Structure 1
Amino acid sequence: MCGLSHNQPTEAVLVSDLTQLQLLKELEPVAENELNRHLSLAREWHPHDYVPWDQARNFAAMGGEDWEPEQSQLSEVAKAAMTLNLLTEDNLPSYHREITDYFSPDGAWGTWVGRWTAEENRHGIVMRDYLVVTRGVDPVALERDRMTNMTKGAHSDDLSGLLKGVAYVTVQELGTRVSHRNTGKACNDPVADRMLQRIAADENLHMIFYRNICAAALELAPDQAMEAITSVLVNFDMPGIGMPNFRKMSLIMAKHGIYDIRQHLDDVVWPVMRKWNIFERNDFGARGEKAREELAAFLEQTELDAKRFEEQRERFLAREAARREKASV
């Protein structure tokens, strides 16, 4: 029985979007499975095991010597990348608040939020200990920026609801993994590289949790999920965008291959698109198809932007090399 009387028009019946509560209820078994998978794979580690404590010495307040630029063994690129990545990690209280809003404090959702927060907190601990002990950056400037950054907090006004939130953190966690791995190489220090590889491994496991929740959402509510994914990708910004000197530091990182538009597209966006079978699916309605078309156009433009950036970077690096060569003569 279709439930329509004979005098009713036989046009398609509109299907209402699932509410936040319905999404959480339907996806909770997936969240529980993903939480158990994560707990079976996550490796215990301790921040103090990744810090070269034998390099530590007192600062002036304790009878030692305060920081001077020549004490740092990091390049300007590595300093910018380490500082930006650490300040991003520092805003964990804001991220915890927002992800709690996406999810539920109960059941698998609540357990995941607590576990994720505890794991993420280690990243800021170990990175700051490393930088202070090795005198990699000015600790006074770093602390002032931390105070400014955390006072302002991180706010994602466009990420209301579970679907946008999960889509965003999938991309953000993978992007953070790429950034940490490349920063480790730029530090030219095996201790820093080992530390950041360890952090990147955490970020990858976090990404898999969110990516698989999003995949399940695409099966449950294809059009809703596709609209959320498109909205997130078209408007995506990394979470540190409002921190002190963000533009300067992110530009240095992009120019020197730590994290740029090409890496964002090829190493972050396309891998999750392929995992979700975005351009192979046949279960979208009109809304989902429209969102997919919008995303396809955006990705095409982003590819052009990436090529343009690479050309500009080649010219910049060539000029920089020429200046160094001239200065050495």
Structure 2
Amino acid sequence: MPGPAARIATDENLHMLFYRQLFADALRAFPDDAMAALADVLCDFRMPGTGIPGFRARAARVAAAGIYNLDVHHEHVVLPLLRALSVTTTPGLGPASRQAQARIGLYEERLKAQATRTRALYARMNASTALPLSP
């Protein structure tokens, strides 16, 4: 029998699949409104807790440790969502949807560039704090 953490992870994954399919249906039924909403959510997303005192320092430590950072967000959250919904390749959209689609594309490019820069920064930080091995 799986432990509580496995049950929670399974439950969270089922929620994600449900909401992703629900949004895919909305995208088919109301492409302009759904694509604009997706652009707003993706481009304006902030981690929950950003207003908590000390959040930025804690988030930086979590990111530096590779637990959750821009790379993880890009590779494991944003890209799979965009692929599953075919957001950047959906044909036959109206002007509002195409504008939102372009906004999402620019956001993804900026996120990827930011992730690359922070990955390099964390690599330099880790290299500079690495202790030399004793003979």
Q: TM-score if structure 2 supplies the norm length?
A: 0.90
Letter in 1 for 2:42: L
Q: 1:217 is matched with which residue: 12, 23, 26?
A: 26
Aligned CA-pair RMSD: 2.1
Determine whether 1:208 maps to 2:28.
no
Determine whether 1:251 maps to 2:57.
no
SS in 2 for 1:278: coil
Runs of 5+ unmatched residues, structure 1: 1-42, 51-194
Cα distance in 2 between the residues matched to 1:318 and 1:284: 47
Higher relative contact order (CA 8 A, sep 6+): 2
Cα distance in 1 between the residues matched to 2:66 and 2:18: 27
Which residue does 1:264 correspond to in 2?
Answer: 73
SS in 1 for 2:89: coil
Runs of 4+ in 1 over 4 A off after TM superposition: none
User: Does structure 2 retain, via aligned residues, the 8 Å contact 1:241–1:247?
Assistant: yes
Displacement, 1:302? Answer: 1.3
Q: 1:285 is matched with which residue: 83, 88, 94?
A: 94
Displacement, 1:216? Answer: 0.5
Cα distance in 2 between the residues matched to 1:244 and 1:205: 32
Count of matched residue positions in the alignment of Structure 1 and Structure 2: 135
Bigger shift: residues 226-235 or 236-245: 236-245
Q: 1:302 is matched with which residue: 92, 108, 111?
A: 111
Which residue does 1:273 correspond to in 2?
Answer: 82
Q: 1:311 is matched with which residue: 116, 120, 133?
A: 120
Change (3 A) 1:199 1:249: farther
Which residue does 2:47 correspond to in 1?
Answer: 238
User: Does structure 2 retain, via aligned residues, the 8 Å contact 1:222–1:283?
Assistant: no
Displacement, 1:301? Answer: 1.3
Cα distance in 1 between the residues matched to 2:12 and 2:58: 21
Which residue does 1:199 correspond to in 2?
Answer: 8
Indicate the percent of aligned positions where both proteins have the same amino acid. 36
Cα distance in 2 between the residues matched to 1:220 and 1:253: 39
Runs of 5+ unmatched residues, structure 2: none
Cα distance in 2 between the residues matched to 1:197 and 1:308: 33
Cα distance in 2 between the residues matched to 1:200 and 1:253: 20
Displacement, 1:283? Answer: 2.9
Cα distance in 1 between the residues matched to 2:92 and 2:66: 38
Cα distance in 1 between the residues matched to 2:18 and 2:49: 22
